[in-house]
Structure 1
C-alpha cells in the first residue's frame, strides 16, 4: 500500500520535513562520511520558506520549552479573555519569574500558528511598553504589522508602517504590508508598493512575486500570473517551488492542459526544484476539473509517495481529492492510514473525511464518523455538522435537518453563520418568510460573520418569495442587513437593486414582471 510503504521509508529518510528526500546511501559508507553527506545535502537545498521570524538566538532548540509553553497555555486557555494577554504576563512576572524576549517571541509564534492573532498582538504590545528590556527589530515590526492588519484592519497597519523609523523599514516590513494588501485584495495599492520595493531593490527574490501571483489568482487575472513569471525570468529571479505551483494552478484554471504540462516539464528540468506533494495535489485538482480522472489518480499516488515527517495536511488533501474522484475505497484506505500514524485527529481531519463521504453519497458512513467525532472532539466545529445539515436540506429531508440542528444545540454545539443560512433555506422552501428572515438575522450576528457572505442564490430566492407574497418590509430588512455588513459585490448590489425596483414599482404589473424576469435570469447564472 502506497501510504504504508511511504511511512516505512520515512524512518530511514535522510531529509527533514522541510526538505526533500534524496536516494538512500549505501550501508557501507562510514558514519563520518555519512554525516558530511547529510550536512552537504541540507546546505545545497534551496528552501523557499520566508524567514520572517528572528528570535535573537541561534541555540533556541537547546533551551527548555516548559516555560514558554506554560505561558502559551495560560494565554490560550484564559477563563476571562477580556483581560488580555498582558494579565497573564504580569501575573507570571509578579510570581518572580522573568520572561526573555526569545520566550515571548516563541509564545507569539505558537499563538499565530493557531490563528490567535489578537492574543499574539497583545503580547507584542506588552513588550512594546517595556522598550528598555525588549529591543524591537525589523523582524518584530514585520510580525506586528501582519498581526495588526488581521486584528484591526489594513488602514491601521498602514498607519503603523508609516510611523516606523527608517531603520526598521526593510524588505520584511515592506513584505508584510504587501501581504496585507493582498489579503484584502487591494490590487492598486499592492502593485504600487511592489514598484516601490523594486526601486529599493527589495524585490530581488521570489517571495514578493509569489505574493502578487496569489493576488492575481484570487482575482482570476491569470494573464498577470504569466506576466509576473516572465518578469522573474527576465530579471533572473529564481522561481521557487511556490512560484511553480502557483503557475501550474493558473494554467490549469485557464483550462490549458498543454500549457500546464509544459510548465511541469520545465519544473522537472529545473535542478534547483524538486516537485513536492503540493505540486502533485495541484496537478490532481486540475486533472479532476478537466475530467481526466486517470491522470488525477496517478498524481494522487505521487502525493502519497512524497508525504514526509509529521505533516497532517497532505492526508486532508488526499481524503478530499479521492472523494472528488469518487474512489470510496481509497478514501477509507487513506483515513485508516492517517489514524494509524497520528494518535489524535483534529477537526480538519474529520471535516475532510466527512466532506468526501458526503460528496460520494456515503451518508451512512458520514453519519458514523460524525458520531465518532462527537465522542473525541476537543472543541466544537460547526463546519463539520454543516456538511450533513446541508445534505439533508438539499435532499428535501427537512425533518431530519431540524432534528439534527436540535441535537447539535443539545450537545453544546454553537451554530455559525453558515448554519443559520442553511436553516434559512429550509424556511424559504416552506415559504416561511418570518422564520427565514430570523435565520438571516442570526447569521449576520454570529461571531465571525464579517468573513461570511450569504450565497447569492439564497438571497435571490428570499427576495423572490417576498415579491410573490408582497412582503416589502421583510425584503427591506434583509437589504439593510446586507448593506450594514459592508457587502458591495456586484452580484449582491444587482440583487438589492432589482428588489428595490420591484418594490418601488409594485403597482405596475408589467414592471414587476420585468424585474422578476431579471431576478430569475440572475439566479440561473449564480
Structure 2
C-alpha cells in the first residue's frame, strides 16, 4: 500500500481534483518518509495522488457515480451471516467480474463508520491490506484503521498496531487516532501522557488534539479542566475552531449555568473566524432543555433549522428528537414532514427519531402508524425501533401486548437484541414473575451484540429485591453468575450501583434504584443526547 499525504498540502480545488486519475509527484512537508519501507509485509512507497481525498465529507458525492459503492455497502450491511465478514462480500463482487476501486471502498468504509458498523468497516480495510500493492493506503487510512481497531479489538489492539508502525510513519493523524482511542476508553493517564508526546513532537499545532482532550474531561465531568485547556490554547495564540467552541459551550451548559454558556456564545460571535453552525444551536438547545428553559431551547431549535445546508439528514434527526424533549409534538411532526419531503428515502435512524419522540410525547397512535409505514419500506429490521413501542407497552403495564408485539417482530424477520429481552424482563418483574424474567435475562446475555450492551443497574437491583422478597436465592445467584461471566462485576462503580460488592449481594439495591433517571441516559438506546453530536463530528475529523 502506498502512503500519501492528504490533499490539503496542495493548492488544488476539490472540483478539479476529481478529474485527475494518475498520481502527481509532490513534496511532503514535515513528514520524512523513506522511499521504500515494509509495514505489515506490504511495500510502502511515497507518492501523492491528487485523486485521493482524505476529507471525504467535503466532496459532493452527487457528482460522482454512486450506484456501485452504495450497492456494495447495502450488500455488506444486509449480510445474513455476519460471521462471514465484509471480505466475503467483496470477494463475491469481484468474482462477478466487477473490479473494486480504492475510492469506492473508502466510501463504503465511511458509510459503515457513519452507522457505527465498525467491525464491517475494519474488515474492508483488512481485505484491502491482504491485496498487497494493489491499493494505495495513506497515513489517513492508517489512522482510520487504528481508530477502528480500538473500537473492535480494544485498546490493546490499537496500541499493538501503533507500535508495529515505524516511527517515521507516525504522523499527527496516527497520534490523533490513538489519542481518540484513549479518550473513548476514558483512559485519562494514557491520554494525558500521549498529549505530552504529541506536543513534544510538534504535532499540537492545531485545535484537534485539544478538542479531543476536552471531550474526555467533559465526560469525566471535570469541567474546570475544559476551561484550563481553552486557557492554554489562548495563551499559545492557538485558534479555537468551531468544535472547540461547541465543546466549551457544552461543558459550560453541563454545569447548569445558562449565563456561563451564553458568555462563551458571545465570545464565539466576536471571533470573526467562526460562524456558529447547526451543532452550536443544537448543543445549546440540549443544555437549555436540561435546565428546564424550554423557550430558549425552542429559539435555538429554530436557528438549527435555518442553518441546515446541503443534503445532511443528521440535523433533522436531532431536531425531531429535541422537539420531542421540549414536549412540542406538532413541531416534531412538522419537521418530520419537511424531512420526508426533502428525502424520499428515509433511513432507520430517521424513523427511530420520530417514533422515539412520539412515544415520549404519548402519541402512541401516530407512533404505531409510522411504525407500520416503516415496516413497508425498511431495508432491514432494526430492533431498536421495535423496542420503542415495546417499552411503552411495558411501561403502561400491558405485558400481553408487549409479548404479542415481540412475536410479530420475530415473524417480520426482526432479531431481538439484548435491550429487547431486557424490556421483557421489566414486564415480567412488574408481574413478579421471577422464572420468566430470569429466562429473558439469559436471552439478553446471549443475544447478538450483547458485548456492547450492559444491563440497567435499576433492573438488576429490582430483580435482586424481587428474589429476596420471594426467597429465591437460586435465581439471584444465576444472574450474579451471568454478570460475573460477562465481566461486568470487574467495574467497581457498576458493581456498587447494582448492590454488589466483592461479588457478594449487599442487599442495598434501593440505592441503585434511586439513579433510575441516570439509567435512562446511560443505558437507553432510544435517547438522543445532543452532546453526542460533538463526539461524532470530532471522530469525522480523523
Whether TM exceeds 0.5 here: the answer is yes
Of the structure 1 ranges 288-297 and 398-407, higher mean CA displacement relative to structure 2 is found in 398-407
Cα distance in 1 for partners of 2:69, 2:402 equals 45
Q: Which of residues 49, 62, 67 in structure 2 aligns to 1:56?
A: 49
Q: Does 1:166 align with 2:167?
A: yes
Task: Give the TM-score of the pair, scaled to structure 2.
Answer: 0.79
Contact 2:355 2:385 in 1 (8 A): yes
**Partner secondary structure for residue 132 of structure 2:** coil
**Partner secondary structure for residue 203 of structure 1:** coil
**Partner secondary structure for residue 388 of structure 1:** helix
Counterpart in the other structure of 2:41? none
Q: Does 1:519 align with 2:512?
A: no
> Structure 1 pair 252/364, CA: closer, same or farther in 2 (3 Å)?
same
Residues 62-95 of structure 1: CA deviation (Å, up to 9, x unaligned)? 8755655555555555565544444454555566
Counterpart in the other structure of 1:176? 177
Cα distance in 1 for partners of 2:332, 2:108 equals 36
Any residues of structure 2 matched to 1:282-293 within 5 Å, and which? 282-293=283-294
Any residues of structure 2 matched to 1:362-441 within 5 Å, and which? 362-441=363-442
Counterpart in the other structure of 1:150? 151
Contact 1:498 1:519 in 2 (8 A): no
Residues 30-62 of structure 1: CA deviation (Å, up to 9, x unaligned)? xxxxxx9x99xxxxxxxxxxxxxx993338778
Contact 2:78 2:380 in 1 (8 A): no
Cα distance in 2 for partners of 1:194, 1:233 equals 17
Contact 1:141 1:168 in 2 (8 A): no
Figure out how many residues of one structure are paired with residues of the other and give that number. Answer: 463
Cα distance in 2 for partners of 1:80, 1:523 equals 39
Task: Give the TM-score of the pair, scaled to structure 1.
Answer: 0.81
Please state how far the C-alpha of 1:416 moved relative to its aligned partner.
Answer: 1.1
Cα distance in 1 for partners of 2:80, 2:330 equals 44
Contact 1:55 1:102 in 2 (8 A): no
Residues 265-295 of structure 1: CA deviation (Å, up to 9, x unaligned)? 0001100000011111111111111111111
Residues 310-362 of structure 1: CA deviation (Å, up to 9, x unaligned)? 11111111111111211122122111111111102211111111111122221
Contact 2:52 2:103 in 1 (8 A): no
> Structure 1 pair 470/226, CA: closer, same or farther in 2 (3 Å)?
same
Cα distance in 2 for partners of 1:400, 1:93 equals 47
> Structure 1 pair 196/73, CA: closer, same or farther in 2 (3 Å)?
same
> Structure 1 pair 234/461, CA: closer, same or farther in 2 (3 Å)?
same
> Structure 1 pair 338/231, CA: closer, same or farther in 2 (3 Å)?
same
Q: Which has the larger radius of gyration?
A: 1
Residues 136-176 of structure 1: CA deviation (Å, up to 9, x unaligned)? 43222212211211221110110111010122111011111
**Partner secondary structure for residue 310 of structure 2:** coil
**Partner secondary structure for residue 115 of structure 1:** coil
Please state how far the C-alpha of 1:192 moved relative to its aligned partner.
Answer: 0.9
Counterpart in the other structure of 1:10? none
Q: Does 1:197 align with 2:198?
A: yes
Cα distance in 2 for partners of 1:521, 1:97 equals 60
Structure richer in helix, relative to its length? 1
Counterpart in the other structure of 2:538? none
Q: Does 1:310 align with 2:311?
A: yes
Counterpart in the other structure of 2:20? none
Please state how far the C-alpha of 1:97 moved relative to its aligned partner.
Answer: 5.9
**Partner secondary structure for residue 387 of structure 2:** helix
Counterpart in the other structure of 2:322? 321
Contact 2:419 2:444 in 1 (8 A): yes
> Structure 1 pair 400/85, CA: closer, same or farther in 2 (3 Å)?
closer
Counterpart in the other structure of 1:493? 495
Gaps of 5+ in 1: 1-35, 40-53, 503-514
Contact 1:456 1:491 in 2 (8 A): no
Counterpart in the other structure of 1:338? 339
Residues 470-521 of structure 1: CA deviation (Å, up to 9, x unaligned)? 211111111121122222444532235369656xxxxxxxxxxxx54x3334
> Structure 1 pair 187/55, CA: closer, same or farther in 2 (3 Å)?
farther
Cα distance in 2 for partners of 1:141, 1:406 equals 44
**Partner secondary structure for residue 186 of structure 2:** coil
Please state how far the C-alpha of 1:370 moved relative to its aligned partner.
Answer: 1.6
**Partner secondary structure for residue 415 of structure 1:** coil
Please state how far the C-alpha of 1:257 moved relative to its aligned partner.
Answer: 1.3
Counterpart in the other structure of 1:359? 360
Cα distance in 1 for partners of 2:382, 2:78 equals 17
Q: Does 1:445 align with 2:446?
A: yes
Contact 2:499 2:511 in 1 (8 A): no
Cα distance in 1 for partners of 2:377, 2:215 equals 36
**Partner secondary structure for residue 212 of structure 1:** helix
Counterpart in the other structure of 1:474? 475
Please state how far the C-alpha of 1:433 moved relative to its aligned partner.
Answer: 1.2
Cα distance in 2 for partners of 1:55, 1:94 equals 30
Contact 1:389 1:405 in 2 (8 A): yes
Cα distance in 2 for partners of 1:402, 1:476 equals 26
> Structure 1 pair 262/176, CA: closer, same or farther in 2 (3 Å)?
same
Cα distance in 1 for partners of 2:233, 2:340 equals 42
Of the structure 1 ranges 336-345 and 66-75, higher mean CA displacement relative to structure 2 is found in 66-75
Gaps of 5+ in 2: 1-12, 17-46, 54-58, 517-542
Please state how far the C-alpha of 1:411 moved relative to its aligned partner.
Answer: 1.9
Please state how far the C-alpha of 1:219 moved relative to its aligned partner.
Answer: 1.9
> Structure 1 pair 390/122, CA: closer, same or farther in 2 (3 Å)?
closer
Contact 2:278 2:308 in 1 (8 A): yes
Higher relative contact order (CA 8 A, sep 6+): 2
